[in-house]
């Protein structure tokens, strides 16, 4: 693997069997329970790319496996959504809404999640809520990911600390979801 990015790591991990993912999770001291998607998310969210590259780099690949992965990658690219178009569509939708009065960020997240799931269900674009803890050390995960390409981070602003944290997270996610 020449250059490992979050996206290529996610693609590679998605091609592995659940038992292989459990083995990788175990290597990093992560819980090994959950679905295949949860394991992929957990590994990506709790490991450094450099450490993950070392682990993935030691896995031997046969020519057949490479061909299968190449075909799967091409198929995925063919069905991948246009991230820029999707982003613009989400921004347009969010600008039009006036959310109901909410008591906290969790209620806001549920409202926006339902809105996005309703919007993209007919297009078969996956809208995924945060599945693991918000923060583990320096690792964070966006509140909602749409189509595997657009991160949505929501903040219930009570003060400048919340605002600053939201800006910092947005900057970080911009590099994870370019």
Residue 66 pLDDT: 55
Q: pTM above 0.75? A: no
Angle between helix axes 18-27 and 36-46 (nearest 10 degrees) is 30
Do the Cβ atoms of 162 and 156 come closer than 8 Å? Answer: yes
Residue 134 pLDDT: 44
| C-alpha 101, offset from chain centre | 28
> Averaged in consecutive runs of 10 residues, what is the pLDDT profile of the chain (178 residues)?
69 87 88 90 86 65 51 55 84 86 86 89 85 50 84 82 78 71
Token code pair at residue 35: 């679905």
C-alpha count within 13 angstroms, C-beta hemisphere, residue 108:
16
H or E element in which residue 109 lies: helix 105-120
Token code pair at residue 36: 């295949």
Domain boundaries, the chain: 6-79, 83-176
Report the C-alpha gap between 43 and 152 in whole angstroms: 20
Residue 69 pLDDT: 61
Neighbours of 16 (CB within 10 A): 19
Nearest Cα neighbor of 145 from 4, 24, 7, 5 is 7
Nearest Cα neighbor of 128 from 118, 119, 117 is 117
C-alpha count within 13 angstroms, C-beta hemisphere, residue 146:
26
| CB proximity list for 73: less than 8 A, separation 6 or greater | 11
Residue 63 pLDDT: 40
Token code pair at residue 38: 């949860």
């Amino acid at each position: 693997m020449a250059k490992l990015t979050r996206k290529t790591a996610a693609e590679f991990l998605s091609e592995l069997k659940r038992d292989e993912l459990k083995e990788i999770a175990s290597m990093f001291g992560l819980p090994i329970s959950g679905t295949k998607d949860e394991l992929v998310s957990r590994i990506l969210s709790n490991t450094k790319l450099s450490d993950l590259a070392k682990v993935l780099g030691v896995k031997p690949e046969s020519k057949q496996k490479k061909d299968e992965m190449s075909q799967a990658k091409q198929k995925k690219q063919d069905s991948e959504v246009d991230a820029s178009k999707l982003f613009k569509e989400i921004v347009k939708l969010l600008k039009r809404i006036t959310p109901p009065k909410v008591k906290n960020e969790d209620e806001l997240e549920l409202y926006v999640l339902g809105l996005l799931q309703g919007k993209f269900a007919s297009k078969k674009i996956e809208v995924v809520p945060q599945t693991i803890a918000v923060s583990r050390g320096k690792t964070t995960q966006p509140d909602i990911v749409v189509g595997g390409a657009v991160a949505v981070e929501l903040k219930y602003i009570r003060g400048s600390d919340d605002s600053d944290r939201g800006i910092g997270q947005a900057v970080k996610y911009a590099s994870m979801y370019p």
